Amino acid sequence: MAIYNIVKKEETVLREKSKYVKNITKNVEKLLDNMAETMYESKGVGLAAPQVGVLKRVVVIDVGEGLIELINPEIIDSKGSETDYEGCLSCPGIVGEVTRAKEVKVKGLDRKGNEVIIEGDELLARCLQHEIDHLEGILFIDKAQKIQTTP
């Protein structure tokens, strides 16, 4: 496995829309493995493929409940609203208040190509929305009401 360099907010790849994964190949599986390793090494709770320079609809998430790998994720339902602080591995030293759905239901594929449904609330819901935004070329700083730098 390998640790990827994380693309920073200035890079144009973060503003492009990611492409759907048509076939889950060994390269996609390797991408999932390396993204997870990169996320853990960077002390993040989520990572989307564009953050490592790959325009594929692939995300990995772990908010402390175990690794979630999603290919072609899409939000199919959401409820409520909650504003909280977010940060991003592609925007080091920046946090901002972002309003997002409090609960979401996301459909995607696992690494075997099986359809999975993930239901999340609070931090997991926020992370799912944040990472799926990356696949659309959207950064949290685009949605933040208040932005501040951290030491």
For the domain spanning 12-149, the CATH number is 3.90.45.10
Mean pLDDT along residues 137-149: 95
Q: Any idea where the domains of the chain sit in the sequence?
A: 12-149
pLDDT at residue 150, as a whole number? 80
Q: Enter the pTM of the model.
A: 0.96
Find out whether 91 is annotated in a ligand binding site: no
Q: Are β-strands 115-121 and 146-149 bridged in parallel, bridged antiparallel, or unpaired? A: unpaired
Whether residue 136 lies in the annotated active site: no
Mean pLDDT along residues 101-122: 98
Out of 10, 29, 131, 136, the active site residue is 131
State the pLDDT confidence band at 18, using cuts at 50, 70 and 90. very high
Cα 17 to Cα 39, 53, 56, 58, 135: the distances in Å are: 21, 12, 9, 12, 6
Find out whether 47 is annotated in a ligand binding site: no
134: burial class by Cβ within 10 Å (0-12, 13-18, 19+)? buried
Question: pLDDT tens across 61-109, in order?
Answer: 999 999 999 999 999 999 999 999 999 999 999 999 999 999 999 999 9
